[in-house]
Amino acid sequence: MARTRRQHRISLILFVLLAAATCLGLGWWQWQRFESSAGTYQNLGYALQWPLFAVFFVYGYRRFVQLERQHAEDLEQEAGGTTLTAPADDQLASIRAAQESASAAKATTATEKRPAQKHPATEIPAGVLPARPATPMAAADLRDPDDPENRAMLEYNDYLARLAARDTERTTR
Neighbour tally for 140: CB within 10 Å: 6
For residues 43 and 34, the answer to whether their CB atoms sit within 8 Å is yes
Number of domains composing the chain: 2
Give the percent of the chain with pLDDT over 90: 36
Note the pLDDT of residue 20. 97
The answer to whether residue 7 sits within a structural domain is yes
Note the pLDDT of residue 87. 47
Residue ending a domain, choose from 79, 108, 126: 79
Q: Indicate whether this model's pTM tops 0.85.
A: no
Tell me the mean pLDDT in the region 128-157: 75
The Cα 125–Cα 143 span in angstroms is 37
Neighbour tally for 46: CB within 10 Å: 17
Residue ending a domain, choose from 22, 56, 79: 79
pLDDT tens digits for 85-121? Answer: 444 555 556 666 666 666 665 555 554 555 556 667 7
Neighbour tally for 30: CB within 10 Å: 20
